[in-house]
Each structure stands twice: as structure tokens, then as C-alpha cells.
Chains A and B, each alone.
Chain A
Amino acid sequence: MTEVLDAESSPRMSKTRSAPRATAETMAAKQRDISVSEFFVKNRHLLGFDNPRKALLTTVKEAVDNSLDACEEAEILPDVTVVIEDLQPDRPASAKSSRYRITVVDNGPGIVRKQVEHIFGRLLYGSKFHRLKMSRGQQGIGISAAGMYGLITTGKPMVIHTKPKPGQPAHHIELAMNTKTNRAEVTVDKETRFFPPERFRDLTPGTRELAASNQFLSPTAYTTGTSVSIELEGRYQKGRGSVDEFLELTAIANPHARITFVPPSKESAAEEEDVPLLKRGAKAVEPAAAETTSPPPPPEPAITTETSGVTVYPRGVNELPPETKEIQPHPRGVELGMLLQMLKEAETEKPGYTLYNFLQDKFSRISASTASTFCDKIKVSSRAKVADIDHAKAELLYKEMQEAKLPPPPTDCLAPIGVRQLLAGLLKGVRAEFYAASSREPDVYRGRPFLIEAAIAFGGQLATEDTCRVIRFANRVPLLFQQSACSSFKAVAETNWRNYDLQQPRGAVPVGPLVIMIHMASVWVPFTSESKEAIADYDEIRKEMKLALMECGRKLGTYLRKRLKMRRESERRDVFERYIGEIAKSINAITGTDARKVYNALLEQARAKTAVADLVLDDEGKRIKEEDPADQDGVIIVESGAGLRSVDKSGAAGPPVAALSKAEAAQLTVASLAKGGDDDQPRLIDTETPRRLSQKGKAAPAKSAKETRSAPDKPAKLPDKAAKPSEKPAARTVAAPPPPASKAAEPKPKPKMRLINGKLVPVDDGPKLF
């Protein structure tokens, strides 16, 4: 068959080639191979190097992606440091761009010496392209393209330090890429004792401060690792699509990673002022930063901190994402050309390969019996050799594959971030009052398994007026550009958020204090372009996204309705409580009955009354079982204090409202969640050895959330900034109701607040009656 095909096609080809043109020879002289590198030099926008600002970001992104991938594969909890040095600090203030040196240091496994040139010096060289495995990088273009961009714009080679073996010196290699040959040229190759490069520790006041407490590139913390420095022409500017935003989002999607960012001393001349959304949240917790600079070694805070310009995104969870398996392609995801190619390769790989074995080995979900069914269907013997399958047979086989009823591809190749980790990530980066997350079961598009996760953060310090913010991730990598072209964005707009009591203009994303996060995990994320900026719009994917969003939306809706109820209840209660003091006093004046007794009795009734009244509240006026939104799985509620107060079911005397700072409230809620099941609680980093998560994103040895919930007195660690390190291992047992927990966590007296006309007004000690 192959011969027939060649025989048919060759004459036609030669006919075209030998079209009678006098210039054929001259043309032929000019015709030559185009190296991939050359192609991308001319088309650098395809890889995300369209402009200086994006080039800077893309370089950081590719290096960070590689670092995280490498760490995870080696089962190391990633600790990634990004340093951007401004090499022209004296440039005129109006300069739109500058020369920067970007260095990304990781604690990954390092790179074997002989691989260095290939990995950093060649485009389209990598381990990730040919396999179906979930990873950040896919094509093997990224870091070498960045190096190439640097070389083109500055002429400076890439500097790589890598330490693949503990206790041995690190390699110091400098590479320049030859775009013509797609090969790297090593300019410097020596060994160094210093890894990570020590000069960074003395770079800025912030790094000195952190280094003094062994929190910044400490040599002892890096038994292995890699550091890549690329000099390039770029533009550093904060805002949307900035390095800062990328790292913040990366921290959200990778709560298991610790990321440190040393930004350049100044921004490039601004074209427009654009404050990144999440930054505002980070600002609000700045007071905490002061504490992190206290004498070493301070406990690591669970929230993002900034020390003299250096931002540290701490580790939120201590489990690595589950290890993902490489899978064989699913028959339904294979195209005819690919099938032909696979058949050809199989023949060379193992002469005499039978189709029967080939089908079972090279595809997922083809069992022995399915394989023989396929053989029967295309009318070949099960002992038929791969070599005997001609084009016609292959096409028949392809058709059968598309029509056959096969189980979907295995899904153990996917590593969801996990509900708990999503919440931990969001809690770390977004200051809101309500967090919900959902993780869908895997599904399949074009024969490739994928999995959608969504999370939302609502209220708190998020802006009320703006349209909601959609943050998108693919295999844990934030997608910063081409939002509207992305399937996830469409899914958000297509979801009817009005069902969940949110405002939503027709055909647009909802408006309100809302951050929506969508993550797609897949062995092959269908990007719309090589620069990996938007997810292609497959129906299957969009449908799953919508389902995940709806799941979160329902939780939010329940919460919002509950919040409304609570607000109403608190208003009602407030009306009653306002008058009962007067009543108690009058009764005392008339009858001499003890006013305090009457007051307490009335207060208790007021509480009971409002609680009961809300129980009956329902859309249909039916009495339903009270559903506490905090009881739902995958929800964290940070009580904001304003307009919301906890229902004090114990009915204790006195106004129960306590003013909590956001951070206190957050800790409180986390603590209260911990009593039910510490599954949902973002934990502090400690010295525990990394654990792998099981496939579903839950800690492998832990019981399911529901089960742990029934064990109420499980010790949980509180993110207590004030605690001394020696106290840290001593886990705090949190008693049942949140209010006592607040007292335990925060012993200093807080001003009591009363809700009056929707405003919190401090009161000294309840109504001054007695």
C-alpha cells in the first residue's frame, strides 16, 4: 500500500516541481532549510515576546513554569525565587524600557551537565511534547526562546548555575544560541562552589533583611537546584499582565510553592496607572510584614508579606500535587495522520509488532478483547503484523476507533489543585469574606482527559462596582492575556449569575465584589496559540466550566441569602434589644422587680424570637432545615463584622458583637473550620516532610472531609503570628463555638460594637442602665 501511495503521489509532485520556468534553478539556489529558531526570531509574538513588557513577563513565566515542573517531578516542595535587576538604573525617567537581568532560582533537582545546552539552547527540545502528561510546559519552546530573545536584544548569553548532585560543586555555564543551527554555543563552562549565587543576598535592603534570617537563598536550603539568568531588553511595570500579577496568581494556583520576588528598584515610565486587583489585598495586611522582620527565625505567616520591597508568597499547604501519570493516547483523540505515523514508528521500533499488541500497548482503554474486536472489524487476523496494515486498512481502523464504544481515558493522569488548596490559595491572595471552590470529575475532549476546577471569592475588600475579575489557569499556570478569547471567560459570561443573587448584564460577566477562578488541568491543554494565553473553546470544556461555576455559584447564593437573612435578623434583633433596656428599667420602677433579671429574660426571648423567625424564612414560605453555608464543603467564610454577626446560639447576655480585624476574623474562621475537619484549613509551612496528595487532591492518609468533621476536637494549628517558634509545634485545640476561640486567640479586650442603622457604633458595656 505504501508503495502504491508513493507511486501515485510522486509523479504529481515532480510535475509541479518541474513546471517549465526558467527561474527554477535560481529559485532552487535560494531554497534552504529554515531553522525553527530563525522562524521564531522573526515571529517572536507567537511565543509571547510581542513587546518589551510582555517579553519580561514571558521570560519569568517560562522560567518559573520550568522550575515548578522540575520540582514537582522530583517530589520537592518548590521554593522559587525571582529576581529582576535593573541594569540601567540611571536611564532617563522617561525611558519606556530598560535592560534587565532576570534570574530564577529553584530548589529543584538540577540538570545533568550534558543536558544543559539542549535544554536551554535549543528550541523544540524537551521531555514534555511527546508525552501525554499533565505539566506546565508542553512544547519545549519556552526557556530557550526567552534566552534567544535576550541574546537578540542584548547580545548577552544566558547564565546557568545548576547543581544536580548534593555535596558536589555546581556548574556555571554560559550559553549563546546559534539561531541558524538551533544549537547552543557554550562560552563559559566552569564549576562553582556557590549555589545559589551568593551575590543576590546582598542585592537590596529587603534581600539583606531576609537573608539575615535565612529566608532568602540560604546556601544550606539548596542541596540541588538550578538558577537561570537572562539579560534582556524589557519593561517592568506593575498592573494587569505584570510579573507581579503573574506571581500572585501562580501563588494562588500553587499553594504548595513558596515564591519570593525581588522586583527591580523602579518601574519603567508608566503608560497608564493600573493597580492590580490583588495587590490591594496584600496592602491591607502590611502591618503583618513588620512582624516578619523581627529577629530570626520568625514563624512564616500564611499571608503574603512584603519586606522592604521583597514579596514573599508563603507556602499554603505542605502536600505536593499528586504525581501524574503519563498516559497513552485515547483512540478517540487520535487523528488519521497520527495513527499512520504511530503504525510506522511501531514497525521500526519493534519489527514484527502485531496490530493486536500494538493497539493494546500504544493506546489507553484498549483491552485484549477490544483489540481483537478491532482486528475483526477491519478484517485482519489478530496475528497480523503492523507492517501489513496498509493505508486503506488504517483508515478503516481509524473509523472504527471513532465509532467504538470505549471507556473514557484514565484520569489518574490529572492532578487537580483540590478544593482545599484552591481555598488556601485564594485565601492567601484575595481579601474577601466568602470563598467557595469546586472540583469537577474528569471529562474528555477529543480523547484527552481534562478536569475543571473553579473557585470564587466574594465580598470583603473587593471592589463592589466593577465587573468581576476572572482569573484563569491552565495546569496551574496563570493565563494573563486574551481573556475574552478564552473558553473560561465565555463560560463565566454564559453562567446565569443572577440565579445566585448577583448582578449580571446581559451576555457579560457578573458585576460585584467577585473574583472567579477557573483552572483547567489536562494532559494537553488546547491553547489558541503557542504563547498559551487562552484556552480554545471546546463545548465539552465550556460545559464542565459552567458546571463548576454553577456549583460555586450555588454555594455563594446560599451564602448571600443567608447573609441577607442574618442582616434582617440582626436588624430585627437590634430593634428589640434597643427597647428592652428601657422596659426593664420601667418595670423595675413600677414593680421593683430586678431590672437585670427582666433584661436578661427579655434578651433571651429576643434572641430566640429572631432565630426562630429566620428558621421559618424560605423562598416558598416553607419551614426548612436551617442550612448553614459554612457547613457546605469547599466553603470558607471570613466574617467581616460589618452587617454580619455570628448567631450566638448560647444566648449569652450582653451585645455579642465583637469587632475583628480582617486578619483576626480570617484566622478565626479558619480555626473554626479546623474544629470540623482540618482538611479545609490552610496550614502553615513547617518542617514536615512533603507528602504527596492522593489523586483527588486530598491528603492521602487523611479521612474524607465528612468523616473528619465528626471528630470535633482534632488539634489544629492556628496561624498565630504572635506565637513564638518554640510554641509552634504545640497544636492548639479549638473548642466548639467560634467566640470562645476568638478569646483564646486574641486575649486583649476588643471594643464592643453595636449595629445601629446599619453602622457599627462602639458601645462601652451595653446599654448604661444599671
Chain B
Amino acid sequence: MSKKPVRTASSKKDRDAVTMKRVVGLADTVARTTLSGREPVIHVPTRALSNTVWDKKHGILRMGEARQERELFNLNQAKVFMQTLLHSESIKSLIEADKTLSLRAMFYKGLHTIAGTKEKTFADQDESDAILEDLEVTLGSLREELHIFAKKAGTMVGNITIIDTGDEIDCRRMGSGGYAIPSIVEPDIIQFKKCDARFVLHVEKNTVWSRFNEDKFWQKHNCILTEGGGQPPRGVRRLLARLNRELGLPIYCLLDCDPWGHYIFSVIKQGSMSLAFESERLAIPEAKFIGLRAMDYDRCQLTDDVQIALNDNDTKRAKQIADYPWFKGHRGWQKEIDRLLSNGFKMEVESLITKDISYVTETYVPERLKAKDWLD
């Protein structure tokens, strides 16, 4: 089983065949090991900070070589070993039936009481989700290749027309709600038909996104407006990455001025630790952080009312983020985080409302873009 996804197969059918081969291979290895009298082991690449490598050249996080042995005959691993095989079986049947299931549905698919006991195969969905993430890295197949999707979380509107599973969708005519970005946005699901936009503005939350949409910001500035509900799910990140790579659109992010906002930017830009193996596909090294900046308190002359004091956890988190290898050598980010810490408070994007209802859409963002004032 190769560690990294090999994306040579182009058609969906080919990719399914490859995934199927990997699933069968996994079970077959276990069976053959067992029948030859050895203890079965599944090698699962480690999903942890310790096993991520900072690829400075490409500006993304990559997964390291470390692998964990998942043993059946280990008290702590026996159950997850069983669960891994249960989900493998589910995935096989999904591919055969050519259907996809949500993470929650996968939990139910594998759920039953173990024969002769009162124990259930999965205690809750978290257990199931973790196994699926393990399977992705173990098989080297993406979640969508395993025929699994997550719930929709993310909205898009703007000067673009796409085709989603055959339906043409004009993102200029999405009303107040916007187009819900699906979990799977691979080219065989979504194709870009026509795009006039010059850039993408990604905001952190739906509330901010609504403000921009109502002010028709995307019409005035000819852009695409997206939102990821906090940390953007994979569908949103993948779509942003495709817009960036395939259509060459720059991605600007408007996030809160707090460690969480910084972290979201870090994930969008470099990739996340738990999904480091997908960074190549998901990370957008060119993404830019336009705000909110720590200096905006002075620059925009905000009042004391918008200050939210940093708690111990925030301080700790901020220092951690400052220590990330991709931020460590970055003077701008070091200054930004230092400023945040010396301010002693955080600010939300909504704090700009105190200036004016549309200050953020009419003044703040346009000014930053014009001044090319951002962090990358």
C-alpha cells in the first residue's frame, strides 16, 4: 500500500477500481498473515504533528514516513483493528453499489452488536470517523474515493458558473443563501463552466459572508465570495484550491484577529496536520491574509468595547502558532502575533460594525486590497 495517493487514474471508474484493489489488498494481507500463523498487523501512517514535515519549497505540510502498527493482539488496539476491517467491508460494498454515504451513515452501516456479547461495534460516531480517517491514509485514497462525504458546510456566491453533477449552477443568482459547497468537489462532480471573477474572498463565518453578499460586494469587485463556517471543511478547501490552481484566482482570507483565525489561515494555506497527506490537493500556498490585523485597533480607531481579553489558552495557542515552522521564519507573522499578544485582546471581524454597518465591505476590504496590504 503506497503512502501517498497516486492520482494517475482519471476516470471515476478507474479510481474506483484502484480503491477497490487497495481495500481487498488490505483484507487479503490480514487474511494471509493470519493463515500463515503470524499475527495480523495493519500499518497506519501516523496522523500527528510529530509525523508532519514542512515542505518549505512548496510551502505545504506533508505527511512523514512514520507508521503505526495496528495489532489485533493488543488490548488497546483489538477493537479498532476490528473496526478498521468492518469499515473496509462497508467501503467495498459502497463501491460495488456505486453509492456514497455520509460519515454518520457510515457509523450506522458498521454498527451492530457483536455476536455472543452485548457490546456494539462502535460506541459513537467519533470512533467511526477516526477509523475512516485512518483508512484514508492507510489506503492512500481520498474520502470521496472511499464513497464517503461529510455534511455540507460552506457557501459560495460570485461571478462564476459551475456544473454540479450535470446541473448548471449560476453562482450570480443564488439569492441570499448562496450555493452550498458540497463535500465532494472533484472534477467529475463539479466543473467550472464560466468564470469572470478576478479573485476569491474567503471569510470565516456565515454572518460576515451575509454582510458581503447583501452589499453585493462580489458584483462591485468582480469576485467570488466563500465562507467555511469556521475552519473550512475539506470540500471548501478543495474548491478554493481548484479555483486557485485551475482558474488562477488569488485567494484572500478575512478572518478574526485571534489564534483561531490564524490557525484557520494556516490550514487553508499550508494544510492541516491530520490531513497532511492531502495537503498537495487542499493547501493553497498562495493564500493571503488580509485581516483582521492586530494593528487595526489603532488603524481603524476602534473603541475599547470590541476588545475580547485573551485568556491563558489563547496566549498559549498563539505562542504555539508562532512556533509553527512556516510562521517561525516569517517576520510579518511574528510581528502580527507579537502585536496580538501585546494588545492582550482579540477582535472579531464583526467588530468593524462599530464603525459602520458596511465599513467592512465598503472601506476595510477595498482599502486593503488596493493597498495590497496583507500577510502571506
Q: With a CB–CB cut-off of 8 A, which chain B residues contact A768?
A: 115-116
Q: Which one of A521-529, A550-558, A588-596 contacts B?
A: A588-596
Q: Give the number of residues in A that approach B within 8 Å (Cβ atoms).
A: 29
The reply to whether the CB of A769 lies closer than 8 angstroms to some CB of chain B is yes
Question: Which residues of A13-51 have CB atoms within 8 Å of chain B's CB atoms?
Answer: none
How long is the Cα–Cα vector from A719 to B35 in the complex, in angstroms? 44
B81 touches A579 (CB 8 A): yes
Which of the residues B24, B34, B86, B89 comes within 8 Å of A602, measured between beta carbons? B34
B51 vs chain A, min Cβ distance (A): 26
Which of the residues A581, A583, A598 comes within 8 Å of B81, measured between beta carbons? A583
The reply to whether the CB of B28 lies closer than 8 angstroms to some CB of chain A is yes
Question: Which residue of chain B has its CB nearest to the CB of A589?
Answer: B89
The reply to whether the CB of B92 lies closer than 8 angstroms to some CB of chain A is yes
Can you list 27 residue pairs at the A/B interface with Cβ under 8 Å? Answer: A575-B78, A578-B78, A578-B116, A579-B82, A581-B114, A582-B82, A582-B86, A582-B114, A587-B27, A587-B85, A589-B92, A589-B93, A590-B88, A591-B24, A591-B27, A591-B28, A598-B31, A598-B34, A602-B34, A602-B40, A602-B72, A605-B39, A609-B39, A756-B117, A763-B116, A767-B114, A768-B115
A582 vs chain B, min Cβ distance (A): 5
The reply to whether the CB of B30 lies closer than 8 angstroms to some CB of chain A is yes
Given that A586-B85, A586-B88, A601-B37 are contacting pairs, would A593 and B114 also be in contact in the complex, using a CB cutoff of 8 Å? Answer: no
The reply to whether the CB of A651 lies closer than 8 angstroms to some CB of chain B is no
Question: Which residues of B38-87 have CB atoms within 8 Å of chain A's CB atoms?
Answer: 39-40, 72-73, 75, 78-79, 81-82, 85-86
Q: With a CB–CB cut-off of 8 A, which chain B residues contact A593?
A: 27-28, 31, 35
A581 touches B72 (CB 8 A): no
Which of the residues B24, B26, B27, B119 comes within 8 Å of A578, measured between beta carbons? B119
Q: With a CB–CB cut-off of 8 A, which chain A residues contact B75?
A: 572, 575
The reply to whether the CB of A576 lies closer than 8 angstroms to some CB of chain B is yes
B73 touches A586 (CB 8 A): no
A590 touches B115 (CB 8 A): no
A579 touches B114 (CB 8 A): yes
The reply to whether the CB of A379 lies closer than 8 angstroms to some CB of chain B is no
B118 touches A756 (CB 8 A): yes
Binding site for A on B (CB under 8 A): 23-24, 26-28, 30-31, 34-35, 37, 39-40, 72-73, 75, 78-79, 81-82, 85-86, 88-89, 92-93, 114-119, 121
Q: With a CB–CB cut-off of 8 A, which chain B residues contact A579?
A: 72, 78-79, 81-82, 114
The reply to whether the CB of A580 lies closer than 8 angstroms to some CB of chain B is yes
B interface: dominant SS: helix
How long is the Cα–Cα vector from A766 to B75 in the complex, in angstroms? 21
Binding site for B on A (CB under 8 A): 572, 575-576, 578-583, 586-587, 589-591, 593, 597-598, 601-602, 605-606, 609, 754, 756, 763, 766-769
B196 vs chain A, min Cβ distance (A): 48
Given that A597-B35, A601-B34, A609-B73 are contacting pairs, would A583 and B85 also be in contact in the complex, using a CB cutoff of 8 Å? Answer: yes
User: Ordered nearest first, which 5 A-B pairs have the shortest CB separation?
Assistant: A767-B115, A590-B27, A586-B85, A579-B82, A767-B116
A312 vs chain B, min Cβ distance (A): 44
A582 touches B85 (CB 8 A): yes
B146 vs chain A, min Cβ distance (A): 14
B116 touches A586 (CB 8 A): no
Question: Which residue of chain B has its CB nearest to the CB of A571?
Answer: B75
Q: With a CB–CB cut-off of 8 A, which chain A residues contact B117?
A: 578, 754, 756
Q: With a CB–CB cut-off of 8 A, which chain A residues contact B31?
A: 587, 591, 593, 598
B113 vs chain A, min Cβ distance (A): 10
How long is the Cα–Cα vector from A579 to B119 in the complex, in angstroms? 10
How long is the Cα–Cα vector from A766 to B116 in the complex, in angstroms? 7
Q: With a CB–CB cut-off of 8 A, which chain A residues contact B121?
A: 582
Question: Which residue of chain A has its CB nearest to the CB of B116?
Answer: A767
How long is the Cα–Cα vector from A598 to B30 in the complex, in angstroms? 9
How long is the Cα–Cα vector from A578 to B118 in the complex, in angstroms? 10
Q: With a CB–CB cut-off of 8 A, which chain A residues contact B82?
A: 579, 582-583, 586
Q: With a CB–CB cut-off of 8 A, which chain B residues contact A572?
A: 75
Question: Which residue of chain B has its CB nearest to the CB of A610?
Answer: B73
B78 touches A590 (CB 8 A): no
A576 touches B78 (CB 8 A): yes
Which of the residues A576, A586, A598, A763 comes within 8 Å of B86, measured between beta carbons? A586
Q: With a CB–CB cut-off of 8 A, which chain B residues contact A576?
A: 72-73, 78
Q: With a CB–CB cut-off of 8 A, which chain B residues contact A763?
A: 116
B226 vs chain A, min Cβ distance (A): 39
Question: Which residue of chain B has its CB nearest to the CB of A602?
Answer: B34
